[in-house]
Amino acid sequence: MEPRRAILIADDEPVVQRLLEYHLKQAGYRVRTADDGQEAMALGGDDLACALVDLNMPYLNGMGVLEQFRQRWPEVPVIIISAMGEIQDAVEAMKKGAFDYVTKPFDMDALVASVTRARQMAEALGENRTLRQTLSAPASPNRPYVGRSRAALELARALEKIAPLPSSVLLTGESGVGKTMVARLLHQGSPRAGSSFVSVSCPALPRELIEAELFGHERGAFTGANQKRVGRMEMADGGTLFLDEIGDPPLSLQPKLLNVIQDREIIRLGSSQPKAVDFRLITATNLELDDKISAGEFREDLFYRLNVISLHIPALRERQEDIPDLASHLLERIAKSRGGQRHYLGAEAAQLLCAHAWPGNVRELENVLERATAFAAHEELSALDLPNLGPRRAASRRPTGLATPGPVPGAPPATAADLPLAGFSLEDLEREALLQTLQKCGGNKALAARQLGVTERSIYNKLARIAPAEAVAREPALAGQ
């Protein structure tokens, strides 16, 4: 799937348009602007990362644009722009499927963060749609099939049965097995698919703010609460609330979660007025909640409320026969995201993948393939392209800067597989590969693009995104090419 980088801004105030356009371009997005709702629909499309839509516009207002986007481009998130006096309308838009809302005057850091989350969700929805189509299609020797093992097929059948039900679901499984993807599939297969899917990573929220994030707060409820804010539970009204790593919230918060599940009412911080909420609850954990209950760290009555239907997501090592097809699917997705050549597994590489224990599960498999394809010399991946999965070579960790050691006299030429790459981020590796190739090609971006297997335009985009200063510092000629 191509990364979504285009943002639609629909607002009839030119100053607001220019302000948002400037900040989003600074964040690396392409921007389309519309002065009214009709123009917004003309500029819409499923290539958008998201749409920022003002509530009050001529010809077609923000609610109308939201409704038409939901019909025509349901995977494009819509963020509502509202004035302070329009918050109730913004909340109503959330119930109708808006991803988020922002209020004027803008907190630009929060706005850009919301746009980034929307883009990530749009890309995940597209990937999940592909995976769902693959899971539901019959196996065929001529068609790659993700999940033909008994464990994967049993999971697919369970999803089909559970998705339409209103019951709460507890997903269990190791980190990286795809619990978030399964939660989205349950939402998409439910009668609530047309409403919001609100995902909350409990460990990612600071403990002192998790209650405000979940329940919302009134203005002045605590230091820093400069305006009223709707919580994640209220955002999920009519849709699905997914609480990832539910074993993490502090014990003091658990009775309040229990009350919401039982009564379907929330009370914002700083308020005394209960508000009814209606969402389907899906939770996930990679912990043994029984152990936490025994240790007094998790309430037993809350566990029983969450564990109405339990669904275990198998680890990758428990369905190793899926690995070649899953790797093929991931390689196709990597090629599309880079706009470059498609790699495929050789026999030895496939054997290495199937023999590996995969403690990081599917997430680790994807990272391994990302790294391998970044440095592979040929379309067919060999065992040499997977050095961390085979016998360890004696090599010291390279210092910061990824400096490549000089050749040893009489030794064969070093390849990417000979380099100790563990511990570096993919962004660092991509930056180094780009800059070294440009230096080797004398700054010729067309030649570098051919060697890296990407388009020349991708070279310009990547250079501007990840290495503008380093390129000038290393090779002044690069800046003038």
Mean pLDDT of the chain: 79
Query: Quick one: pLDDT band at residue 427, thresholds 50, 70, 90?
Result: low
Host domain of residue 477: 426-481
- Do 325 and 310 share a domain, yes or no? no
292: pLDDT strictly greater than 60: yes
Tell me what pLDDT residue 409 has: 41
What is the widest separation between alpha-carbon atoms in the chain? Answer: 79
Q: The domain spanning residue 464 has which CATH number?
A: 1.10.10
Residue carrying structure tokens 């010809």: 59
- Do 167 and 115 share a domain, yes or no? no
pLDDT (average), residues 390-397: 38
Distance of CA 439 to the CA centre of its chain: 33
76: pLDDT strictly greater than 80: yes
- Do 153 and 194 share a domain, yes or no? yes
4: pLDDT strictly greater than 70: no
Identify whether 476 is part of a domain. yes
Identify whether 32 is part of a domain. yes
pLDDT (average), residues 290-311: 93
> Measured between alpha carbons, how far is 197 from 217 in angstroms, rounded to an integer?
21
477: pLDDT strictly greater than 50: no
- Do 285 and 323 share a domain, yes or no? no
Identify whether 403 is part of a domain. no
Contacts of residues 156-160 at CB distance under 8 Å and 24 or more positions apart, as own/partner, are 158/311, 159/135, 159/185, 159/186, 159/189, 159/311, 160/189
Cα–Cα distance list, 318 to 105, 134, 270, 362, 376 (Å): 52, 20, 48, 12, 28
- Do 218 and 242 share a domain, yes or no? yes
> Measured between alpha carbons, how far is 397 from 423 in angstroms, rounded to an integer?
9
Report the range out of 93-102, 287-296, 458-467 with the highest average pLDDT: 287-296
| Tokens, residue 463 | 């250079």
pLDDT (average), residues 274-303: 92
What are φ and ψ of residue 298, in 5° steps? -145, 135
Tell me what pLDDT residue 143 has: 31
- Do 247 and 329 share a domain, yes or no? no
Least confident stretch, 265-269, 305-309, 349-353, 441-445? 441-445
- Do 110 and 92 share a domain, yes or no? yes
Strand partners, 230: 216
pLDDT (average), residues 185-196: 89
- Do 198 and 347 share a domain, yes or no? no
> Measured between alpha carbons, how far is 247 from 292 in angstroms, rounded to an integer?
8
- In this prediction the pTM is 0.53
Confirm if 322 and 152 have CB atoms less than 8 A apart: yes
Last residue of a domain, one of 298, 314, 330: 314
- Do 308 and 323 share a domain, yes or no? no
Least confident stretch, 88-92, 397-401, 430-434? 397-401
258: pLDDT strictly greater than 50: yes
Query: Quick one: pLDDT band at residue 191, thresholds 50, 70, 90?
Result: very high
Identify whether 143 is part of a domain. no
Least confident stretch, 77-86, 151-160, 397-406? 397-406
Tell me what pLDDT residue 166 has: 93
> Measured between alpha carbons, how far is 356 from 389 in angstroms, rounded to an integer?
7
Tell me what pLDDT residue 127 has: 57
Tell me what pLDDT residue 419 has: 52
The number of domains in the chain is 4
Residue 432 burial (CB < 10 Å; 0-12/13-18/19+)? buried
Tell me what pLDDT residue 227 has: 74
- Do 203 and 259 share a domain, yes or no? yes
| Tokens, residue 348 | 């030895």
Q: What is the pLDDT of residues 118-169, one digit of tens each?
A: 887 777 666 555 444 444 443 333 332 257 788 888 888 899 899 999 999 9
Last residue of a domain, one of 423, 443, 463: 423
Least confident stretch, 202-206, 245-249, 425-429? 425-429
Q: The domain spanning residue 17 has which CATH number?
A: 3.40.50.2300
Least confident stretch, 84-98, 100-114, 452-466? 452-466
- Do 229 and 299 share a domain, yes or no? yes
Q: The domain spanning residue 259 has which CATH number?
A: 3.40.50.300
Identify whether 131 is part of a domain. no
| Tokens, residue 382 | 């060999």
Identify whether 407 is part of a domain. no
- Do 371 and 251 share a domain, yes or no? no
pLDDT (average), residues 390-403: 38
Contact partners, residue 239, CB within 8 Å, separation at least 6:
97, 187, 192, 195, 196, 197, 198, 279, 280
Tell me what pLDDT residue 391 has: 43
pLDDT (average), residues 384-393: 66
SS3 readout for the chain: CCCCCEEEEECCCHHHHHHHHHHHHHCCCEEEEECCHHHHHHHCCCCEEEEEEECCCCCCCHHHHHHHHHHHCCCCCEEEEECHHHHHHHHHHHHCCCCEEEECCCCHHHHHHHHHHHHHHHHHHHHHHHHHHHHHCCCECCECCCCCCHHHHHHHHHHHHHCCCCCCEEEECCCCCCHHHHHHHHHHCCCCCCCCEEEEEHHHCCCCCHHHHHHEECCCCCCCCCCCEECHHHHCCCCEEEEECCCCCCCCCHHHHHHHHHHCEECCECCCCCEECCCEEEEEECCCHHHHHHCCCCCHHHHHHHCCEEEECCCHHHHHHHHHHHHHHHHHHHHHHHCCCCCEECHHHHHHHHHCCCCCHHHHHHHHHHHHHHHCCCCEECHHHCCCCCCCCCCCCCCCCCCCCCCCCCCCCCCHHHCCCCCCCHHHHHHHHHHHHHHHCCCCHHHHHHHHCCCHHHHHHHHHHHCHHHHHHHCHHHHHC
Confirm if 331 and 343 have CB atoms less than 8 A apart: yes
Identify whether 331 is part of a domain. yes
Identify whether 95 is part of a domain. yes
Last residue of a domain, one of 289, 314, 339: 314
Contact partners, residue 8, CB within 8 Å, separation at least 6:
31, 32, 33, 34, 40, 43, 44, 48, 50, 51, 52, 53
| Tokens, residue 282 | 């899906």
Strands 380-381 vs 78-82: parallel, antiparallel or unpaired? unpaired
Tell me what pLDDT residue 432 has: 76
Q: Which one is predicted more confidently, 5 or 304?
A: 304
Q: Which one is predicted more confidently, 303 or 212?
A: 303
Q: Which one is predicted more confidently, 208 or 381?
A: 381
> Measured between alpha carbons, how far is 254 from 236 in angstroms, rounded to an integer?
19
Least confident stretch, 340-349, 394-403, 447-456? 394-403
Tell me what pLDDT residue 210 has: 84
Tell me what pLDDT residue 392 has: 38
Tell me what pLDDT residue 293 has: 93
Tell me what pLDDT residue 414 has: 43
